[in-house]
Structure 1
Amino acid sequence: MEVSSTLLFALMVVAALTSIQFYKGRKLNIQLMEHYLRSIEEIVKPEDKDYVWLGGYIGFRASYKVNRDNIRKFEYTLTLLPRHSLLYFPIALLTSRHDKIYFVIRPFAEIKREAHLIQKGYYRLSPNIENEDFLQRETIEIAGKEYEALYEKKRDVIKLKELVESLSKPHNVKHVSLTPKTNVFYVLMKPEPEAIERDVKKLVRFVNEKLRESAFSS
């Protein structure tokens, strides 16, 4: 089968663009990973740390032993858009939409009650919340976005709302929760390179100060 010169030229152009995108996208993702890693580690100051890379250029999972103040363990997973893939990147923009960072912070203080703030419309499928049927539910607004609040006591979700409002871009927070069964404070958000240090400081302060208060622990 004879390949036309036009088709051959088009294939060469696509191959060249794919190669350029790979090197540029890979470089940017590596720079982002290094930036987030250094910035978060500088704030958390772990006594021990462990990293697992996720597919080379799409992110990593970090686990820090802190054992200081009210933080026993600080874990997070960073997943980046596949900027190095010319063909898959547009699909990822539709499915994943943006870079994500998932914080899982395990305090020494015991979390006694469950509370969630979930940005409306973010999840295509509702997250699995074990005690959802027993939680009170209402809609609240934060920075022009509607969030579904699920809680046992209103004061808990008010504290979470205050935390979200204090972050650099509140609308970047997609889900924040307190889960007594696993004793975990959880935050899913879109990270911003220029604001990650400020935001992580706010999360650390929240755990060290607010999670010690009676509003959460009793």
Structure 2
Amino acid sequence: MELASTMMFALMIVAALTSIQFYKGRKLNIQLMQHYLRSVEEVVKPDKENRNYVWLGGYIGFRAEYKLNRDNIRKVEYTLTLLPRQSLLYFPIALITSRHDKLYFVIRPLSQIKREAHLIQKGYYRMRPTIENEDFLKKEVIEVAGKEYEALYEKRRDVELLKELIESMSNPHNIKHASLTPKTNVFYILMKPEPETIEEDVTRIIRFVNERLRDNPFS
């Protein structure tokens, strides 16, 4: 009887904590989504009629797309995925599997990207994404802001360009993967976002596309 009473009391405590975590975690994730959305749009300044949003469900994030067609940017697409802070039971597991919030940028410049290049933080991926034509790319490990990155490239000057961007960020180690892909004409960034520095970092990313990718002849 005492064991049953103890188990019942424990279940009530877990239920109460789960409920508290749900409301606190949900509120925080909503605040983060609103903050990141406002911060990115403050920098990108898309026209209202050229914005498109997709809610990813629950409180895990969203996808946004802005058609710009100005400076050197045709389109900006980004996806925010957040840790499940609303789930008391799954949140600790997500800290192990996902590790942190993620922000994926896919930027399509007006200028033409002619060669492939990747900088991937060494050891970040448990299962690295497939890179088309990887067998034809040169490979080496280079140091970026004191951390090792795997470099894959056709010409090293393109990797140096990506390295320059990463080292200019507020916290370079938050950049997990940066790449230039000529087949889709895409500049890609996977990063760990931080509320305090997101606007500064997005400003640097946009400036990189508008200035460095436009001015770089890729020849």
Contact 1:74–1:104 (CA<8 Å) still a contact in 2?
yes
1:52 equivalent in alignment to 2:54: yes
Query: Offset at 1:56?
Result: 2.3
What's the CA shift string for 1:15-55, capped at 9, x where partnerless? 00000000000000000000000000110011210111112
Query: Offset at 1:211?
Result: 0.7
Query: Offset at 1:137?
Result: 0.7
Match of 2:96, SS state, is helix
Match of 2:26, SS state, is helix
Contact 1:49–1:62 (CA<8 Å) still a contact in 2?
yes
Residue in 2 that maps onto 1:168 = 170
Query: Offset at 1:2?
Result: 9.9
Supply the distance in 1 between the matched residues of 2:74 and 2:216 (Cα, whole angstroms).
19
Query: Offset at 1:142?
Result: 1.4
1:78 equivalent in alignment to 2:80: yes
Contact 1:81–1:93 (CA<8 Å) still a contact in 2?
yes
Match of 1:175, SS state, is strand
Structure 1 residue ranges (4+ consecutive) displaced by more than 4 angstroms after TM superposition:
none
Match of 2:27, SS state, is helix
What's the CA shift string for 1:91-132, capped at 9, x where partnerless? 100100000000000001010000000001011112200011
Q: 1:189 aligns with which of 180, 184, 191?
A: 191
1:192-207 equivalences under 5 Å are 192-207=194-209
Structure 1 letter corresponding to 2:56: L
Contact 1:21–1:85 (CA<8 Å) still a contact in 2?
yes
Match of 2:38, SS state, is helix
Residue in 2 that maps onto 1:143 = 145
Contact 1:62–1:77 (CA<8 Å) still a contact in 2?
yes
What's the CA shift string for 1:131-181, capped at 9, x where partnerless? 111111111111221000000011110010000000000001000000000
1:62 equivalent in alignment to 2:81: no
Q: Structure 2 stretches of 5 or more lacking a match?
A: none
Contact 1:66–1:73 (CA<8 Å) still a contact in 2?
yes
TM-score, normalisation: structure 2:
0.97
Match of 2:139, SS state, is strand
What's the CA shift string for 1:57-86, capped at 9, x where partnerless? 010000011111000000000000000000
Match of 1:50, SS state, is strand
Match of 1:4, SS state, is helix
Residue in 2 that maps onto 1:13 = 13
Residue in 2 that maps onto 1:119 = 121
Residue in 2 that maps onto 1:90 = 92
Supply the distance in 1 between the matched residues of 2:216 and 2:150 (Cα, whole angstroms).
24
Structure 2 letter corresponding to 1:108: L
Residue in 1 that maps onto 2:24 = 24
Aligned residues: 217
TM-score, normalisation: structure 1:
0.97
